Structure 1
């Protein structure tokens, strides 16, 4: 099956620290919604769909930045989005230049330690997760 998915299995190791028992899947994606790598209970087609949803979620979340502006000349940068559903959560976190970490969990996840772990992975590996902007991308994350 030929898809637009960018697979970098050599980077899958960076998601090991994210895979708590309550984590269903984790996806590292580029700003344009292409999968860089994925792991957990997710196949290639679902990873592509999840990444596309996450890219859209990031864009719509970032569009709300103007409503949090503090009057300075620069618009606030988007950092993360959390979606709560009746059966779980979706975490979306900036993970480097034009790269993002998306994680889906069950409702039983302990949010505090899970969020700390996700952010630790992002901090530790942010430079490695970065992607080169594709044509048409602005410098804003």
Structure 2
């Protein structure tokens, strides 16, 4: 039989990673997204909004990588993308291979607090998304 069966990885509940970020004053939402435009977790926004934001952020990240590679060279590593509006900010940082952490805030947020908490939670996220160690083979 030549039919393709989709391979899916089990979803890990990542909402515990978002909770500390949401405690920063003026943070409105947070989400974990993939580079291909899907969300792994979000902080309670409507599913349709989370889906749209994931796709838009994937496009934004691709543009940011293209811009940085064109200007700074192909070896450049993207550290953060930030969008500023009169209504607030959107911060996006890498959180592992093909995964990003996005945070949406109001205009009065203390950006340094958001950045600090995002970096802390990326460490936690990496541990949560990592594969568990495999047992010894061949014994």
Whether the TM-score (by the shorter chain) exceeds 0.5 is yes
Between the aligned partners of 2:66 and 2:127, the Cα distance in structure 1 is: 25
Within 1, Cα distance between the matches of 2:108 and 2:11? 30
* CA shift in 2, pair 1:7/1:39, >3 Å: farther
Within 1, Cα distance between the matches of 2:119 and 2:104?
15
TM-score in terms of structure 1 length? 0.77
Looking at structure 1, the residues matched to 39 and 126 of structure 2 have their Cα atoms a distance apart, in angstroms, of 16
Alignment match, 1:103: 103
| Displaced runs of 4 or more, over 4 A | 6-9
**Unaligned ranges ≥5, structure 1:** 1-5, 132-141
- How far did 1:12 drift? 0.8
Instruction: Output the CA distance in 1 between the equivalents of 2:96 and 2:128.
Output: 8
Q: CA RMSD for the aligned pairs? A: 2.2
Which residue of the partner structure matches residue 29 of structure 1?
Answer: 33
Residue 27 (structure 1) shift: 1.1
**DSSP-derived class of the 2:13 partner:** helix
Structure 2, unaligned runs of 5 or more:
1-8, 132-139
- Cα distance change of structure 1 residues 7 and 111 upon mapping to structure 2, 3 Å threshold: farther
2:137 corresponds to: none
> 3-state SS of the aligned residue for 1:82?
strand
Aligned to 1:94: 94
Tell me the TM-score normalised to structure 2 length: 0.78
Structure having the higher Rg = 2
